[in-house]
Amino acid sequence: MTVFVTDELPRPGSAGHLAFNHAIISWLVTQGHRPHILLTGKRLAWPVMRYGAIPLAGPHIQQIGPYVTAISPTTAGPILARAALRALPASMAQRLRRARHQADAVLGGFLTPADLRWCARAIARLKPQAVLIDTIFRAPLLAEPELAGCNGIIITHDLFHRRAQVLSAAGYQVRPGGLTRAREAELLSRARAIAAIQPDEAAEFRQMCPGQTVFTTPMPALPCPRPSHIQPTPGRLAFIGSATLPNLDGLRWFFAEIWPQLAPQGVTLDLVGTCGLALHHLPPGVRVLGRVPSLAPILHRATLAIAPLRAGSGLKIKLLDYARHGLFTIATPPSLQGFAPTPSSPFIIAGSANMFAQAVLRHIESPPRAETALAYVAQHYSLERAFAGLRAALTPDEHCLFERSL
Domain ranges of the chain: 2-219+384-405, 236-381
* Residue 185 confidence class, pLDDT cut points 50, 70, 90: very high
Q: Look up the CATH number of domain 2-219+384-405.
A: 3.40.50.2000
Pairing of strands 67-70, 48-50: antiparallel
Partnered with residue 240 across adjacent β-strands are: 272
At 51-98, the pLDDT tens digits run 888 999 999 999 999 999 999 888 888 888 877 876 776 667 667 777
DSSP string, 86-148: HHS-HHHHHHHHHHHHTSSEE---PPPHHHHHHHHHHHHHH--SEEEEESGGGGGGGGSGGGT
406: Cα separation from own chain's centroid: 34
Instruction: Count CB-CB contacts under 10 A for residue 371.
Output: 11
% the chain with pLDDT above 90? 68
Contact 104, 245 (CB under 8 A): yes
- Give the DSSP H/E element, type plus range, for residue 330: strand 329-331
- The CATH number of domain 236-381, selected from 3.40.640.10, 3.10.580.10, 3.40.50.2000, 3.40.50.720: 3.40.50.2000
**According to the model, what pLDDT value does residue 404 have?**
42
pLDDT confidence of residue 403: 46
213: closest CA among 392, 383, 337? 392
- With b meaning 16 or more CB within 10 Å and e meaning fewer, what string describes 262-288? bbeeebbbbbbbbbbbbbeebeebbeb
What pLDDT shows up at residue 401? 52
Residues 247 and 275 sit within 8 Å (Cβ to Cβ): yes
